A and B are shown apart, each in its own frame.
Chain A
Amino acid sequence: AQSVTQPDIHITVSEGASLELRCNYSYGATPYLFWYVQSPGQGLQLLLKYFSGDTLVQGIKGFEAEFKRSQSSFNLRKPSVHWSDAAEYFCAVGAPEAAGNKLTFGGGTRVLVKP
């Protein structure tokens, strides 16, 4: 069974600074990988996804993530954070070989943006 770890529960970053959120997964093969963002009281919005090909993927809102097979990681980055990026971010893994697309989520990282 797959699992996801997001080591950082909270991160505080200044507006305009860079942001990196860590995600490590456990899965026997190459999984599908996702980052979702959740603003307070809102649903889950997909930022980006990896399923094959180029290991550096670009997403919405200026985010990117890099799949590193050797480290079982899929860290999310943004060069310059905006106040509107304050939210909770969830990394998720899916199993391509399984029927259906059940996702397993990490515990989330809450991002606070200082002015």
Chain B
Amino acid sequence: EPEVTQTPSHQVTQMGQEVILRCVPISNHLYFYWYRQILGQKVEFLVSFYNNEISEKSEIFDDQFSVERPDGSNFTLKIRSTKLEDSAMYFCASSEPQGEADTGELFFGEGSRLTVL
């Protein structure tokens, strides 16, 4: 069964360092997302991406964050200068094209745990 894969599964970094989290969405999906879950808290929407541009972003997704689809398969989240409060589990997700097949379901990866020291 196709799945969303994320790397790394866990990354530890120093405050102020740049971090790139990588995701390989399901191959025929066209919408891509990043969500964040701070330990013990709810899953929060960060950004959605479609047709090589951001379609929606939350207040959390400030200038320190960026997303990119550098090739036909990867979808990345970059945090330019990490802060302690960026420590969280980051989930990538993808969904099918809109249309009759679209049921609104997001397929999530296993997550990348980021620890900022």
- Residues of A within 8 Å of B104, CB to CB, are 32, 34, 49, 51, 94, 96, 101, 103
- Residues of A within 8 Å of B109, CB to CB, are 43
Number of A-B residue pairs, CB cutoff 8 Å, is: 66
User: Could you tell me if B110 and A43 are in contact, using CB atoms closer than 8 angstroms?
Assistant: yes
CB of A87, distance to nearest CB on chain B (Å): 14
- Residues of A within 8 Å of B43, CB to CB, are 44, 90, 92, 105, 108
* Cα(A46)–Cα(B108), bound, Å: 9
User: Could you tell me if B31 and A107 are in contact, using CB atoms closer than 8 angstroms?
Assistant: no
Q: How large is the interface on B (under 10, 10 to 19, 20 to 34, 35 or more residues)?
A: 20 to 34
CB of B44, distance to nearest CB on chain A (Å): 7
For residue B28, CB closer than 8 A to chain A, the reply is no
* Cα(A106)–Cα(B41), bound, Å: 10
User: Could you tell me if A102 and B33 are in contact, using CB atoms closer than 8 angstroms?
Assistant: yes
- Residues of B within 8 Å of A51, CB to CB, are 103-104
CB of B41, distance to nearest CB on chain A (Å): 8
* Cα(A90)–Cα(B45), bound, Å: 14
Count of A residues near B, CB < 8 Å?
Answer: 24
Q: Which residue of A lies closest to B43 (CB)?
A: A105
* Cα(A58)–Cα(B110), bound, Å: 24
Interface of B toward A, CB cutoff 8 Å: 31, 33, 35, 41-45, 48, 50, 55-56, 91, 95, 98, 102-111
Q: Jot down 21 A-B pairs with beta carbons below 8 A, ordered by A.
A: A32-B103, A42-B110, A42-B111, A43-B110, A46-B105, A51-B104, A92-B43, A94-B106, A96-B104, A100-B31, A100-B55, A100-B98, A101-B31, A101-B102, A102-B33, A103-B45, A103-B104, A105-B43, A105-B45, A107-B42, A108-B43
